[in-house]
Structure 1
Amino acid sequence: MAMSKAHDAALLRAAGRLLVRRADGRQPPRRLPRPHVVPGPYVPEWWMSGVNSTYAGIWWALPAAGPELRLGSPDDPFVQDVARHARLLQASRVGYRGRNDLYEAYIHGDEPGEMQAVPPVPGLSAEQSRQINLRVGRGRGIRVQPGRDSEFVLLHTDYFAVWDRARAYAAATVRLLQARL
């Protein structure tokens, strides 16, 4: 899994670099980004946990929308495809950044199985209090805030779809570049 993440992040960086260089009218770079992989048949656990915890730098490799518009009109299907995949990657970034905003600490209520939000910290806003309660570990556990289940499912889906979206963006970029040769 870590190897796949490292390769997908390098693929996304290479696709973005090729697209920008072509849009600027420059030659392709002599060297494309390569995955940072430990050589040899044995991959140490520290390397795999480092890649998995940092997501192989995929969040810094996400492309900005726009360079594809310099290679054709907005009505061109190849340009639209690349722009659509860039927007989907940005949705994954939103899911990544907002993944912790939906949780709250809870305590058990009076009834069996009932859960209530931990009371707010006096003197703090509701949002600051929610964050403090989560970080300090007040309460019995954490849960998704009531009424935000559909938002949680959408953010969770977008967050973990980044790998598939990175490969789809790279494939769309290659199709656009081949059409412009």
Structure 2
Amino acid sequence: MSSGWQQSISELRAQGDAARASGERAGSLAADGARGVRDTAIAVRYAAEADYLRSAQALLRSHLADRLPPRRLPAARIWPGFRDMWRDRVLHRRGGLWRAVPDNADLDQMRRASPGPRLEAVIEQAEALRASLHGHRQRDSLYESYIPDPAGSLAGDPLGGNGRSAPTLPGFPDPAHRLNRAFPQGTGFRIQPGRLDEFDQLWDDESAVHQRAVTFGDEVLALLVELRLNGVTPPAGRLRGAGRWIAREEALVAHRPKWPAKLTGFQIASLAGTCWLVLACTGLPLTFGHHAGLLSHYTWLFMAAALIACTGTGIILRYLPKLIQGHGPRAAAPGIAAALLALVVWQGQGPLAEHFFAGPYDRYEREYADGCLAVTPYRHNAVQAAVADGVLVINPTNGGPTLRLGPAENGGTHPLRPLDQATRTVLDEHGC
């Protein structure tokens, strides 16, 4: 008995317990739970079941291939700050449950293994999951566009049996084709006549995916306990993933205030101040790119500006409703703070860019003329300077050796260095 297998099977058992507990929790909140808490509980259920199904498959593949189990079982990652978006994505995709269903290659691997009652039960549940996936993919293909009977009523004919099928688009005779459903020629949708029983079967298979996923995991767990641990069921191990958030829905996804239906004057001021801040930050790449001589790479500069604009807009949409919940002038406080910060960014980005990406004349004054050469014939108001072929030439008006410094380039960040022996001698004499 391998300690790695024992640990992995213990963690799989913990995920199975979490999948069942999450289903019970979601069911208990179905009737009387708040909508936000109920949606979060359903998302936790979907993610916990997907974790259980993926982990069971990972261990089953390793067992059938006679390999060591994976060091860590698959588990959902929930990043702080994006939990509400995680919940919406999980609800939309059922936690990735459909992608976790065993594929044909997995079924072939199971069928090639040594037969046994436990393995037969696993194969049966895998085939049931495949049937659920088939129902999910094919159910919508049984709908068609139709033209209701003018003499009938929708209340008396909910299935549209008294109407007639709408004509299909030229070249697409199948009424369930995506184009025929995207551009319907009728005024309503119904199940195709004579296919109601097939629709009900597909619907039942699709709805049963949650129970089948848990049952598949349980059968895999029983198989591994029997063949890898000699029938000794280990205690539940460490739980990771979405199962840790069962009965902690409010801590997982906190309530976020919605945008007011009508903004007050103070709230509009906050919105204007934050938008100005985003606009000021959007100009940062363009300002620094201009002073750095990177306008030839304008595509990247505009992409960076667009990224800042999109990020700032997302932050406003996400966090500003909570900040403007105060009454009266308190609702304008975030906008005032943002406007002051925007003023600093707007006025300060130009001088800051000039400081870091200065031209050769400014760099000469900063590095030499205002420093070690401030009281020499090479001070800034006693020389003639010119740039030729990347070389800054300094000629003192009162006579003296000519200085040659480089690299002399606009938007450069490298310090000016002597380019000949005469220049180096002058700088050494003045302690530069």
Normalised TM-score (structure 2): 0.38
Matched residue, 1:116: 164
Which residue of 193, 197, 200 maps to 1:146?
193
Residue number among 148, 151, 160 corresponding to 2:207 in the alignment = 160
1:54 maps onto 2:96 in alignment: no
Structure 1 residue 96 corresponds to structure 2 residue 136: yes
Distance 1:153 1:128 in 2: 19
CA distance in 2, matches of 1:142, 1:110: 15
Instruction: Give the drift of 1:70.
Output: 5.7
- Structure 1 unaligned blocks of 5 or more: none
Supply the distance in 2 between the matched residues of 1:129 and 1:6 (Cα, whole angstroms). Answer: 31
Tell whether 2:76 aligns with 1:28: no
Gaps of 5+ in 2: 1-41, 154-161, 229-432
Which residue of 104, 107, 112 corresponds with 1:65? 107
Residue 176 of structure 1: how far off its partner (Å): 0.6
Runs of 4+ in structure 1 displaced over 4 angstroms?
none
Are 2:118 and 1:78 equivalent residues in the alignment? yes
1-side partners of 2:125 and 2:100: how far apart?
A: 14
CA 1:130/1:87 → structure 2, altered by over 3 Å: closer, same or farther?
closer
SS of the residue 2:139 aligns to: coil
Once the two structures are TM-superposed, the CA of residue 105 in structure 1 deviates from its matched residue by 0.8
**Greater relative contact order (Cα < 8 A, sep 6+):** 1
Distance 1:137 1:125 in 2: 12
SS at match of 1:72: coil
Q: Deviations over 1:7-66 (max 9, x none)?
A: 1111101000001111111111110001233559x952x322211111211122112214
- Distance of 1:20 and 1:6 partners within structure 2: 21
The superposition leaves residues 67-105 of structure 1 with CA deviations (integer Å, 9 ceiling, x where unpaired) of 4446532xx211110000000000011111102110001
CA distance in 2, matches of 1:50, 1:128: 30
Q: CA deviation at 1:109?
A: 2.5
Q: Which residue is equivalent to 1:136?
A: 183
Which residue number corresponds to residue 16 of structure 1? Answer: 57
CA shift in 2, pair 1:130/1:16, >3 Å: closer
Q: Report if aligned partners of 1:89, 1:165 keep a CA contact under 8 Å in 2.
A: yes
CA distance, structure 1, for counterparts of residue 78 and residue 207 of structure 2: 22
Tell me the distance in 2 between the aligned counterparts of 1:109 and 1:130.
23
Which structure has the larger Rg?
2
CA contact (8 A) 1:6 1:36 kept: no
Letter in 2 for 1:119: P
- Which amino acid is 2:54 matched to? R
SS of the residue 2:97 aligns to: helix
The answer to whether the Cα contact below 8 Å between 1:71 and 1:180 also exists between their aligned partners in 2 is no
Partner amino acid for 2:44?
A: M
What's the RMSD between the two structures over aligned residues? 2.1
Corresponding residue number in structure 1 for 2:356? none
Percent of aligned positions with the same letter in both sequences? Answer: 32
